[in-house]
Each structure stands twice: as C-alpha cells, then as structure tokens.
C-alpha cells in the first residue's frame, strides 16, 4: 500500500513538473527586447517562438481572452519599435518558415511568413526563377518585408505590394481569412505596409520573375548630371533592369561626386549557364574594417569613398545573375558598441528635383553635426497601391546610414538635425520611409502621408481592442 502511494505521488510530481516545464518553455519570459537600432530597449512579458499555424492561432485567441497585447517580429530590422510594446507578447515568426507550394510553370511560390528571401532564392534558383521585389539584402523575412512594403534595386516592378498575389491573415479575434485584390480586398492595401497592426500574416503567394543575366555598367559623375543620366540612359532603356547609385559623404567631395551601376540585360543563351550558381559573400573583412575607420574620421570617410568607387568602376562589364545581385547578406555592416549604434533613414524625392534637393541637403548638413557614413540611391516608380505609399511620384530613394550615440541627449541631437532634413525633403514634394526610428514629428508625418489618419482609423475599426500594438502605433496612432 505504501509503495503504491509513493508511486502515485511520484507520478503526480513528474506530471506536474512536465506541464510546468512545458508551459515555461512556451511562455519564456525575457527581461528586455530591442530591434536592430538598439535605441528602444523594452521590457516584454513574453517572448514566444512559433512554428505552426495552430500554435500562433492559440496565442492570439488567448491574448483575445486575457486582453494582452501582441507585437510581431521577424529579423527585427525595423528600427522604430515596430516589433515591440511594453509588457506585451512578442511573437517571433522566424521559426514559422516552410515553403508550402512552388509552381515553376505559373511562376508563383507560397511561403510561410518567417521564410527569408535567401530561403526562396535557394528553392527557385535552379528553375531559372527569381524574386521580383525585395531588399538588396536577402536576410529578411517575407512577413517583415510585407509589413513595411519594401522596394529594392529593381526599377521595373515597383514596391513589394505589386508582386503579391494573396496572403492569409490571422485576425485579432483569432480567425483566419484570405486576402487578395478580389477577396477581402479592402484589407489588401492596409495590411501590406501595415507594420503588423492588423494581425499576423501567416503565408503569402508571390509572383516570381525570370532569373536573368545582367552585365554591370558603371560610371562616375557630378550630382548635377545624375537626373539626365537616369532619364536618358536608364529609365528609357528597357534593357536596364536594375540600378544603384551612391553619392559621396567624404569631406573632399561631400554630396557632389557620384558613381552609378546599371544592371543591363546580357546575352542569355550563351553565357548564363556559367553564372547561375548562387554566390556567398566573399569580401567581408576589408569592407568591415574600412567602414569601421570611416566612423571615426574624415580621413576614413575619404578612403572608404575612394575604395568603394574604384571597386564598382573596376567591376564595369562584370556579369551577374538577378538572384546574385539581390544576395548580399550585409554581414560587413554588423556593429557592436555599448554607447553608440547605427540607424537608417530613407528619404524619397521626385526625380526631377534631385539636384536642387541635394543642394538644400548640403546646405543643412554643412552646418550641422551628423556622422553620416553612406548614402545609397535607388529608384522607385510611382506606386500608390498601399495606403501608406511612399512613392507618390517617380522617386529617388536616398538611404542614409548614420552613426549616433544612444543616450537621450544624443537621440535629441540627432532628432534636431533629421527633422531639418525631413523639412527639406517635404519642401521638395518628397516623403520618408516609416520602418525607422520615430524622428519625424506628427506634423511631418501628416505631410508625408496624407492618408495616415485613414490608416489608423481602419486599424481601430478592424482591431477595436487594439490587440496588436507596437511603439510606432503608440507614438503616432494613439
């Protein structure tokens, strides 16, 4: 009898321990979480890694019952608290990463939202297919890219919303609906570029492109010649499929000298088979070192600019497939410093205002203190499919990499300078990108995004209990 009683107690203890461990493993508490900008450390209640649709749906239903808030994260390269909310639940989607369906004949692929662009490239490359629209780097998740409606080097396909066929959305009350331009179509332009505020994008069907072979065409020029060069040599030439430019932030040629690389359609039949293997990043140590030097001296910025320019000009005539052009993993940009960080800002300006805009930017920056490391320029064609569209005209996108301190004083100093740059951008009928730190004022946001109130009203209508929240929404939407 005593032995049976002991065995019963042991069974009860082991069972209780198992379930306690199981619950803990599914609800692991984390002290703080932060995004790539490292300016917004936030105490979160739960950090939940998810792997199945059933699991995600269960968490959302539980949050609906308990009143908890949910934020959604992929690689967390949005830098304005878009994946964070104090004392909330963070759904980490990176484990939700299966390729569900691939149809090479129809040039379509269906993937879970935690899949990275690198995963897709590895799946479709051998079939002679490529992604239509994505960032220049392939490390990001598809769900995160949809949430910010990315664009890249491609000049023919616009922003990501243009290549989305449909997606499934897990709504705030735990239901799953299909969304496309025909089904629940009113949600389509809100969720894409919706920063995770309408629910969880579960999986998405994307349209694919052919994996073409390109030949690099590089040139250096004065910034005043860039607009005409782009209009005549790039936009009007159908053989140019992708484009990238940089403008100098070196002291000797500050915002005056440029170099460009065009990706021109090459002879597909005779050469392509020699270049189709997916490349891995080879040069990391040298660019990482040179970027590091440029953080701390004008001499370093001059050296980095000269080296970058020579490297790209030297690659004139190089052959490269579309998949490999969009394959950089940006490892050389990794930066660890306890007191400083690097943030991105991205400003859009109409093509026909480029030179005047650069003059006005320079006039501000020559008077202000801002550790500007790089400006990359891309083109985004007019595209207002998303409610929070950033391309109200044919635009040049200037992506700025900025090194700054992490203290409150440093943040305020950076904000002061960047709000001046934003005013210059808006005065030139431009806009700015929303995935980055919330330096823009409310007034500037409304000027850049005239439909922002419509966006927030739709969010509150669709999610009246505000189940999905983040710091971006708290800053601008409440």
pLDDT band for 19, please (50, 70, 90 cuts): very low
- Quick one: pLDDT at residue 332? 59
Q: Give 463's DSSP letter.
A: S
Q: Is the pLDDT of residue 9 over 90?
A: no
- Quick one: pLDDT at residue 473? 97
- Quick one: pLDDT at residue 396? 98
Closest residue by Cα to residue 380 from 358, 347, 357, 356:
347
Give the pLDDT mean for 25-36.
65
pLDDT band for 283, please (50, 70, 90 cuts): low
pLDDT band for 11, please (50, 70, 90 cuts): very low
Q: Is the pLDDT of residue 325 over 80?
A: yes
State the Cα–Cα distance between residues 78 and 40, nearest whole angstrom.
Answer: 11
Q: Which residues pair with 111 in a beta bridge?
A: 99, 204
Structure tokens at 203: 């999986």
pLDDT digits (tens, 9 = 90+) for 62-99: 998 999 999 999 898 888 999 999 999 999 999 999 99
Among 36-40, 203-207, 439-443, 464-468, the least confident range: 36-40
- Quick one: pLDDT at residue 330? 63
Tokens 């966006």 sit at which residue? 455
Q: Is the pLDDT of residue 7 over 90?
A: no
Q: Is the pLDDT of residue 5 over 60?
A: no
- Which architecture does CATH list for 213-445? 2-Layer Sandwich (3.30)
Q: Which residues pair with 92 in a beta bridge?
A: 49, 73
Structure tokens at 140: 């990001």
- Quick one: pLDDT at residue 331? 63
State the Cα–Cα distance between residues 99 and 122, nearest whole angstrom.
Answer: 11
On whether the CB atoms of residues 278 and 225 are closer than 8 A, the answer is: no
Closest residue by Cα to residue 146 from 83, 189, 103, 178:
189
- 441 to each of 314, 367, 415, 421, how far by Cα in Å? 43, 21, 9, 12
Give the pLDDT mean for 274-282.
82
Q: Is the pLDDT of residue 8 over 60?
A: no
- Quick one: pLDDT at residue 334? 76
State the Cα–Cα distance between residues 23 and 15, nearest whole angstrom.
Answer: 12
Using a 10 angstrom Cβ sphere, with 0-12 exposed, 13-18 middle and 19 or more buried, the burial of residue 98 is middle
Exposure letters 34-44 (e unless 16+ CB within 10 A, then b): bbbbbbbebeb
- Quick one: pLDDT at residue 72? 96
State the Cα–Cα distance between residues 478 and 476, nearest whole angstrom.
Answer: 6
| Inter-helix orientation angle 354-365/408-427, to 10° | 150
Mean pLDDT of the chain: 91
pLDDT digits (tens, 9 = 90+) for 102-153: 999 999 999 999 999 999 999 999 999 999 999 988 999 999 999 999 999 9
- 103 to each of 96, 107, 201, how far by Cα in Å? 21, 6, 21
- 169 to each of 40, 77, 143, 181, 357, how far by Cα in Å? 28, 22, 11, 14, 40
pTM across the whole model:
0.91
- Quick one: pLDDT at residue 67? 92
pLDDT digits (tens, 9 = 90+) for 61-70: 999 899 999 9
On whether the CB atoms of residues 388 and 193 are closer than 8 A, the answer is: yes
Using a 10 angstrom Cβ sphere, with 0-12 exposed, 13-18 middle and 19 or more buried, the burial of residue 415 is middle
pLDDT digits (tens, 9 = 90+) for 386-414: 999 999 999 999 999 999 999 999 999 99
Quickly list DSSP for 345-397.
Answer: EEEEEEGGGHHHHHHHHHHHHTTS--EEEEEEEEEE--B--STT-SBSSSEEE
State the Cα–Cα distance between residues 308 and 292, nearest whole angstrom.
Answer: 14
pLDDT digits (tens, 9 = 90+) for 336-382: 888 999 999 999 999 999 999 999 999 999 999 999 999 999 999 99
State the Cα–Cα distance between residues 102 and 448, nearest whole angstrom.
Answer: 38
Among 37-46, 147-156, 323-332, the least confident range: 323-332
Residues with Cβ within 8 Å of 258's Cβ and at least 6 positions away in sequence, in order, are: 220, 221, 222, 223, 226, 245, 246, 247, 248, 377
Give the pLDDT mean for 327-343.
79
């Amino acid at each position: 009898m005593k032995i049976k009683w002991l065995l019963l107690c042991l069974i009860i203890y082991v069972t209780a321990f198992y379930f306690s461990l199981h619950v803990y493993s599914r609800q692991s508490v984390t002290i703080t979480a932060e995004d790539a900008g490292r300016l917004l450390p936030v105490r979160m209640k739960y950090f939940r890694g998810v792997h199945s649709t059933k699991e995600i749906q269960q968490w959302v239903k539980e949050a609906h019952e308990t009143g908890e808030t949910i934020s959604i994260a992929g690689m967390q390269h949005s830098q304005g608290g878009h994946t964070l909310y104090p004392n909330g639940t963070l759904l980490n989607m990176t484990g939700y990463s299966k390729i569900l369906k691939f149809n090479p004949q129809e040039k379509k692929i269906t993937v879970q939202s935690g899949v990275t662009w690198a995963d897709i490239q590895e799946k479709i490359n051998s079939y002679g297919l490529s992604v239509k629209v994505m960032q220049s780097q392939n490390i990001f998740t598809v769900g995160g890219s949809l949430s910010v409606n990315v664009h890249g080097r491609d000049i023919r396909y616009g922003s990501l919303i243009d290549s989305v066929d449909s997606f499934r959305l897990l709504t705030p009350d735990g239901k799953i609906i299909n969304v496309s331009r025909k089904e629940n179509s009113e949600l389509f332009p809100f969720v894409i570029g919706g920063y995770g505020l309408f629910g969880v994008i579960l999986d998405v069907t994307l349209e694919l492109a052919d994996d073409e072979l390109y030949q690099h065409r590089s040139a250096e020029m004065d910034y005043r010649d860039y607009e005409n060069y782009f209009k005549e040599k790039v936009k009007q030439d159908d053989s140019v499929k992708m484009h990238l430019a940089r403008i100098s932030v070196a002291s000797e040629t500050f915002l005056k000298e440029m170099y460009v690389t065009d990706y021109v359609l090459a002879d597909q039949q005779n050469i392509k088979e020699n270049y189709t293997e997916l490349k891995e990043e080879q040069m990391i140590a040298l660019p990482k070192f040179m970027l590091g030097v440029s953080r701390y001296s004008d001499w370093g910025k001059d050296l980095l600019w000269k080296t970058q320019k020579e490297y790209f000009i030297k690659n004139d005539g190089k052959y490269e497939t579309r998949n490999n052009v969009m394959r950089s993993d940006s490892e050389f940009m990794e930066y660890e410093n306890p007191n400083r960080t690097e943030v991105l800002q991205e400003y859009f300006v109409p093509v026909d205002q480029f030179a005047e805009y650069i003059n006005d930017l320079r006039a501000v920056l020559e008077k202000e203190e801002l550790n500007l490391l790089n400006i990359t320029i891309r083109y985004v064609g007019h595209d207002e499919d998303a409610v929070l569209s950033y391309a109200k005209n044919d635009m040049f996108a200037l992506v700025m990499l900025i090194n700054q301190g992490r203290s409150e004083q440093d943040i305020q100093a950076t904000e002061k300078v960047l709000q001046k740059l934003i005013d210059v951008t808006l005065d030139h009928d431009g806009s700015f990108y929303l995935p980055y730190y919330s330096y823009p004022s409310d007034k500037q946001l409304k000027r850049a995004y005239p439909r922002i109130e419509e966006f927030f009203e739709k969010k509150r209508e669709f999610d009246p209990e505000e189940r999905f929240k983040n710091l971006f929404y708290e800053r601008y939407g409440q």
